[in-house]
Structures are given as C-alpha cells and as structure tokens.
Amino acid sequence: MARQLVNREEGVEYKGFAPPGKTPAHKVLVEGKALVAALDSGVPADGTLLVKVALSPVSEDNAIANLEEMPGWDFDAERRQAGNAWNDALSTVAIDAPEPMRTMVYTSLYHAMLTPSLFMDRDGSYRGPDNAVHKADCYRFHSTFSLWDTYRALHPLLTLTAAEERNGDFIRSLIASRQHSPHGILPVWQFHGLETWCMMGYHAVPVISDAYMKGIKGFDPEQAPAAMTASAEYGPYGGLEHYMKLGYVPIDLEPEAASKTVEYAFDDWRSRGWRKRWASATSPRGISSARRTGATSSTRRQVSCAPANRRANSARHSIPCSRTSAATTRKAAPGSTHGVCRTTTRA
C-alpha cells in the first residue's frame, strides 16, 4: 500500500528530534497539529474500501488488540448495532411533543451522553493522572471529566437517565484517579486521564455525593468520603489553605477569590459560606464580591474576580440553598440534593 504522511501546519517550527525519512513517502511518523495521511491501496474489485481504526491510551500493540472488539467486516451490521444502542440509551426519556421539540430534546440528550467517555483498552488498561499505566478491575474507566461545566446539571441528569452501572463507573473512575494522582486529590478537569487544572473548585465532591444520595451503587462507600475529604482539605490548591482558616478566599492572597469562595462553599454543601462574600452594603442588587484578609463588610471591594477564560464572575454565581435563610433565598425543592437559586435581594 502506498502511503504518505504530511504535516500541513505552517509557520510553526518543530524543535524536537525529527524521525527517519526525508520525504513523505519514506516517513512512518510525523508530529504536528494539522496532519494528513494519504493511503493508496488501489481500487477494490467491487469499488468498496473498508477500513478499521482503533485507538489506545497505552500503546500501539493495545490499539491493534482493540481491533478485535469488532471482528467482522459487515459495515451495515455494525451501523445497525450502533443505532440500536443509541436508541436504547435515548429511550430512557419519553417525550410527548411536536416533532421539532422532540428533535431538539433528543439531540440535546445525545450530546449529554457523549461524556464522560470510556478511556481504556479491551484488557482494562488505561493511563492515569500520573501518566502511568493502570488496569480497571471489574469496572470501566472513564475520563473527560469537565467537572466545572457538568457538576450542576449534567451529572445530576445522568443519574436519572444513564444506567446505574455507568454512573457507578464514573464514581469509581474518579476515586481511582485520586488514588493515582501525584497530589492525592480527585480530578478537577480531567482529559485523557490527565489533569488539566482548568477552572476552579473540587466539583467531583458534589458529583460523588449526589450519586450516593440517589442510591447509585458500584463504588466503595468508604473510599469515597476519604477521597472527597482529601480534595476539600488540599491546602495548596486554589487558596484552600486560606479558605479553611478564614472561611473565605482573600483577594489579596489569591486571584478569583470571590468566585472560588462560592464554588468551595457549594462543594462543601456549606451554603452560608456565601455570606462572607455578600456586598449588600455597597450594591443595591447584592452581589458576591472579593474581600481582603481581615476585612469587614464595610471594606469589601466589588471586583470582577474571574478572567475572561473563566466564563464567570462574582455576580453570576448561583448560591446553594440548603440551610440558608429564607429571607434571601428560596428553599430547595423536597428531595433535591442540588437545589440552587439566584438571589438579587439584600442579605
């Protein structure tokens, strides 16, 4: 089979060690961000070319072994099987609505089910946050935990719409990641098994708590609280050492202080923590704002505490409602484990 590997990325010099081969036809490996593989196998007799592709987080040998997960070459049969699997997954929600609404809802539900994603080989091997190879025992390891984006709505939705086994796999994956973490904490924003440190908070904690409160099984109830506590008490992360001492994150010692305080208060299920950030004395709307070390309510400063890439600022946070005064917030609905509200009244 004729083969060419070409890097179409321009203007970015490769500073590593170039692999053997001077021309595209002689290269077996290229590195870059805009790669193209051109393969020429000739024209099959029936005009149809079937190709299988397998991936592995561990090795090329494991990727080849993963091909056995689809042993046949019946494309139409595989397509039907995939369609049936998606229909089964989406059928957990029944909708009585006009077709445009049904299309919108089921498309959104499909998107909601794409992540967290399976991230292991057929033999259970995967790479953890320490970049070492581990093996999942009697569960399926998942990654792509975009927790700052998903803890409020997606994960509570999946506890209702996804199979209990899959939800249990999520929690076991989080706990396993904590066990292999160089820092000994749960993932913050995990991608391909590795920590990205994107966004703020330790939102694996409410995800685990919500699953447990809803009766999700399949994970160790002793390991879970130990992992949650380790994350909540890891002082070097995001000003937590100050938060544990003062009850808030001070702006003179840590950036994005107001946002982090509110996020941590949610993760701790300690909703009254937002009171230390409340700026009713200086704002008719009442917003959460930054506070300096030792400052009282009369010396709080209103600032936008999050850079543009955070997609949040001190005025946009929802406030967890359990155990919070009814004078400023509405109570969570009966049975709710994640009741939140947005308040615009003074504290």
- What is the rounded CA–CA span in Å between residue 278 and residue 286? 7
Tell me which residue of 244, 284, 266 sits closest to 200, measured CA to CA. Answer: 266
pLDDT higher than 70, residue 313: no
Paired with 339 in beta bridges are none
Closest listed residue to residue 112, CA positions, set 164, 80, 165, 149: 149
Looking at residue 279, its pLDDT comes to 55
Spatial distance between the Cα atoms of 222 and 73, rounded to a whole number of angstroms: 45
Q: Does pLDDT of 320 surpass 50? A: no
CATH class of 75-232: mainly alpha
Q: What is the pLDDT of residues 87-106, one digit of tens each?
A: 999 999 999 999 999 999 99
The string over 111-141, giving b where at least 16 C-beta atoms fall within 10 Å of a residue's C-beta and e elsewhere, is ebbebbeebbbeeebbbbbbeeebebeebbb
What pLDDT shows up at residue 294? 76
Cα–Cα distance for residue pair 156/208, rounded to 1 Å: 10
Highest mean pLDDT among 264-268, 273-277, 290-294, 304-308: 264-268
Rounded to the nearest angstrom, the gap between the alpha carbon of residue 38 and the centroid of all alpha carbons in its chain is 34
Average pLDDT along the chain: 80
User: pLDDT tens digit string along 166-202?
Assistant: 999 999 999 999 999 999 999 999 999 999 999 999 9
Q: What does the alpha-carbon distance between residue 292 and residue 248 come to, in Å, rounded to a whole number?
A: 10
CB 210 within 8 A of CB 147: no
* pLDDT computed for residue 344 by the predictor: 28
User: Alpha-carbon torsion 110, 116, 121, 123, what sign?
Assistant: negative
Q: Do residues 8 and 34 make contact, with C-beta atoms less than 8 angstroms apart?
A: yes
Q: Is 198 helix (H, G, I), strand (E, B) or coil?
A: coil
Judge residue 225's burial from the number of C-beta atoms within 10 Å of its C-beta, 0-12 exposed, 13-18 middle, 19 or more buried: middle
CA angle 132, 135, 138 (to 5 degrees): 155
Task: Please state, as a whole number, how many other Cβ atoms lie within 10 Å of the Cβ of residue 228.
Answer: 25
**Which residues in the chain are classed under CATH 1.20.1050.60?**
75-232
Q: What is the pTM of this model?
A: 0.77
Q: Per residue in 203-254, pLDDT tens?
A: 999 999 999 999 998 999 899 999 999 999 999 999 999 999 998 999 999 9
Distance CA 254, CA 305 (A): 10
Report d(CA 55, CA 58) in Å as an integer. Answer: 9
* DSSP line for 50-100: -------SS-HHHHHHHGGGS----HHHHHHHHHHHHHHHHTTS---S-HH
